[in-house]
C-alpha cells in the first residue's frame, strides 16, 4: 500500500485557534464502488460524493451537507425552508408596488443577445479541456432530462438576475440572486417535471430576492423562452448565460458551485447537449406556464395580499372623502359642467396622483420584518 503524503495546513488563524486544510474534491465514479449507505451523490449529474469541500455561509440559504440527504429529503428540506423564510408582508408590498410602477424596474430594456467575447471563448475552451475524466463522464450521461431541467433551473435564476439588474452583473447581489433562487444550486435537488421546476422557481423567486412578484417571475420565464428560440447559436448563448453565473460566483462564498455545477454545465453544453430535448423543454415550459402562474405559492399569501389591498383601498377612500369635505366648492353641478376640458384633465390627473401618493404612503408605513 502506498504511503499517504503529508497534508499541510492551508491557513492558520492564531486568534481563533483554528487550522484549515484544503481537501481534494472527489468525483463519484463506478470504479470506486458504491458509496456508504449514509452518503448520497450530488452535484451535476450526481457525479460527486462525500462532504462539501468548504463550508457555505448560512446567509446563502444553502444545504451544506447534501451527502447526508437523499434527493426526496432534499426536496422536503427545500420546501420547509421556503415556508419558514417567506415574508408575507414583503411579498404583499411588492404585489401592490408592482401594480403602481413595476417596482421601478426597466423590464423592457434588455439588450440584444451578444456573441461570446474572445476571452470567454478561451475560458470556455480551457474549462472543457481541463479534466479529461470529467469530459468522459459527461459524454456518457444517459439520463439527460434531469440534467437539462437542472440547467433550466439555473437559467431561470440568471434570467431573474438580468431582468432586475438591467442586464448587468451586480457584484453586490447577482451571486445571491442566482444561488438562492435556483433550488439546484442551493439544495442540490433534481427535478423530474417541468411543472415541479416552475413551481419551485415561483416559490423561491417570491421568497429570497429583493423584488418578489409573480408577474416578474412570469416575465422571467417568458424571456428565457424567447431568448432560447431567438438565438441562432444556442450552444454559444447557453455558454454565455452560464458565464454570467460563473463570474457572479467566482470571488464569493458561492465559488464552490462553479466546481459542482457551472463548469460542468459549460462542458455539457459543448460536449453532450441534446438540442432536441432542449427545445422540447422550452415547449413544455410554455405550455405549463399558464397553469402554474395562477396557482397559489402555498404560503397563504393570498390572504395577506387581500388584507393589504383592503387597507390601501380603505385609506384611499377615507382620504378622498376627507378632501372632498374640506375643500367642497359652492359651485353648482351645472357650473362645474361648464368648466373647460383642460381643467377637467388637470383634476383627473391630480386625483390619480393623490391616489398614488396614498398608496405609496401606505406602503411606506408597512412594517417589514427582516
Predicted local confidence at residue 48, as pLDDT: 94
Within-domain flag for 18:
no
Domain count, the chain: 1
Within-domain flag for 327:
no
Which of 47, 32, 46 is CA-nearest to residue 74?
Answer: 46
Question: What band does 9 get if pLDDT is binned at 50, 70 and 90?
Answer: low
Within-domain flag for 260:
yes
Residue pLDDT, tens place only, 304-348:
888 888 887 777 555 555 554 544 444 443 444 444 555 555 555
Predicted local confidence at residue 328, as pLDDT: 47
Predicted local confidence at residue 62, as pLDDT: 83
> How many C-beta atoms surround the C-beta of residue 149 within 10 A?
20
What cell was used for 212? 418578489
pLDDT exceeds cutoff 60 at 24: no
- Residue 18, beta-bridge partner list: 13
Residue pLDDT, tens place only, 40-69:
999 999 999 998 876 555 556 688 899 999
Distance CA 42, CA 70 (A): 9
Greater confidence (33 vs 266) lies with 266
Greater confidence (356 vs 77) lies with 77
Question: What band does 370 get if pLDDT is binned at 50, 70 and 90?
Answer: very low
Rounded to an integer, the average pLDDT of 18-37 is 47
Question: What band does 296 get if pLDDT is binned at 50, 70 and 90?
Answer: very high
* pTM: predicted TM-score of the whole model, two decimal places: 0.77
Rounded to 5°, angle at Cα 70 from 66 and 71: 90
Predicted local confidence at residue 367, as pLDDT: 40
Within-domain flag for 6:
no
Greater confidence (201 vs 110) lies with 201
Distance CA 162, CA 89 (A): 25
Q: What is the CA radius of gyration of the chain?
A: 26
Greater confidence (304 vs 187) lies with 187
Within-domain flag for 270:
yes
pLDDT exceeds cutoff 70 at 17: no
Predicted local confidence at residue 268, as pLDDT: 98
Rounded to an integer, the average pLDDT of 156-173 is 95
Within-domain flag for 101:
yes
Predicted local confidence at residue 344, as pLDDT: 55
Question: What band does 7 get if pLDDT is binned at 50, 70 and 90?
Answer: very low
Within-domain flag for 329:
no
pLDDT exceeds cutoff 50 at 102: yes
Rounded to an integer, the average pLDDT of 112-127 is 89
Phi first, then psi: give them for residue 31, nearest 5 degrees. -70, -20
Within-domain flag for 109:
yes
pLDDT exceeds cutoff 50 at 1: no
pLDDT exceeds cutoff 70 at 158: yes
Greater confidence (236 vs 309) lies with 236
Residue pLDDT, tens place only, 201-232:
999 999 999 999 999 999 999 999 999 999 88
Average pLDDT, rounded, for the chain = 82
Residue pLDDT, tens place only, 72-96:
999 999 999 999 999 999 999 999 9
Q: Cα separations (Å) of 296 from 50, 165, 291, 301?
A: 37, 27, 11, 8
pLDDT exceeds cutoff 90 at 262: yes
Q: Which of 16-30, 108-122, 145-159, 355-369 has the highest mean pLDDT?
A: 145-159
Range of the domain at 128: 65-305
Phi first, then psi: give them for residue 12, nearest 5 degrees. -120, 120
Amino acid at each position: 500500500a502506498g504511503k499517504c503524503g503529508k497534508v499541510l495546513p492551508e491557513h492558520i488563524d492564531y486568534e481563533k485557534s483554528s487550522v484549515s486544510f484544503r481537501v481534494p474534491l472527489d468525483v463519484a465514479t463506478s470504479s470506486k464502488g458504491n458509496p456508504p449507505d449514509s452518503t448520497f451523490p450530488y452535484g451535476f449529474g450526481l457525479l460527486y460524493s462525500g462532504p462539501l469541500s468548504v463550508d457555505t455561509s448560512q446567509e446563502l440559504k444553502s444545504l451544506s451537507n447534501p451527502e447526508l440527504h437523499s434527493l426526496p429529503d432534499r426536496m422536503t428540506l427545500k420546501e420547509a425552508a421556503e415556508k419558514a423564510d417567506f415574508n408575507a408582508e414583503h411579498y404583499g408590498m411588492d404585489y401592490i408596488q408592482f401594480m403602481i410602477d413595476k417596482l421601478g424596474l426597466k423590464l423592457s430594456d434588455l439588450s440584444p443577445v451578444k456573441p461570446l467575447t474572445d476571452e470567454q471563448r478561451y475560458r470556455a475552451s480551457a474549462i472543457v479541456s481541463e479534466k479529461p475524466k470529467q469530459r468522459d463522464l459527461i459524454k456518457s450521461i444517459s439520463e439527460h432530462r434531469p440534467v437539462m431541467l437542472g440547467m433550466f433551473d439555473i437559467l431561470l435564476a440568471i434570467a431573474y438576475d438580468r431582468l432586475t439588474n438591467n442586464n448587468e452583473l451586480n457584484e453586490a447581489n447577482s451571486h445571491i440572486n442566482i444561488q438562492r433562487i435556483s433550488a439546484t444550486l442551493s439544495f442540490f435537488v433534481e427535478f423530474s417535471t417541468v411543472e415541479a421546476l416552475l413551481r419551485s422557481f415561483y416559490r423561491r423567486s417570491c421568497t429570497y430576492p429583493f423584488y418578489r412578484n409573480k408577474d416578474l417571475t412570469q416575465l422571467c420565464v417568458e424571456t428565457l423562452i424567447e431568448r432560447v428560440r431567438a438565438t441562432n447559436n444556442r450552444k454559444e448563448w447557453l455558454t454565455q448565460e452560464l458565464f454570467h453565473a460563473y463570474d457572479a460566483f467566482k470571488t464569493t462564498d458561492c465559488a464552490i458551485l462553479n466546481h459542482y455545477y457551472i463548469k460542468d454545465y459549460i462542458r455539457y453544453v459543448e460536449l453532450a447537449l441534446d438540442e432536441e430535448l432542449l427545445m422540447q423543454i422550452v415547449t413544455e415550459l410554455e405550455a405549463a406556464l399558464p397553469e402554474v402562474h395562477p396557482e397559489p405559492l402555498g404560503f397563504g399569501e393570498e390572504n395577506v395580499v387581500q388584507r393589504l389591498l383592503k387597507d390601501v383601498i380603505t385609506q384611499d377612500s377615507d382620504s378622498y372623502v376627507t378632501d372632498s369635505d374640506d375643500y367642497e366648492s359652492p359651485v353648482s353641478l351645472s357650473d362645474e359642467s361648464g368648466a373647460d376640458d383642460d381643467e377637467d384633465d388637470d383634476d383627473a390627473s391630480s386625483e390619480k396622483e393623490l391616489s398614488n401618493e396614498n398608496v405609496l404612503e401606505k406602503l411606506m408605513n408597512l412594517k417589514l420584518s427582516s
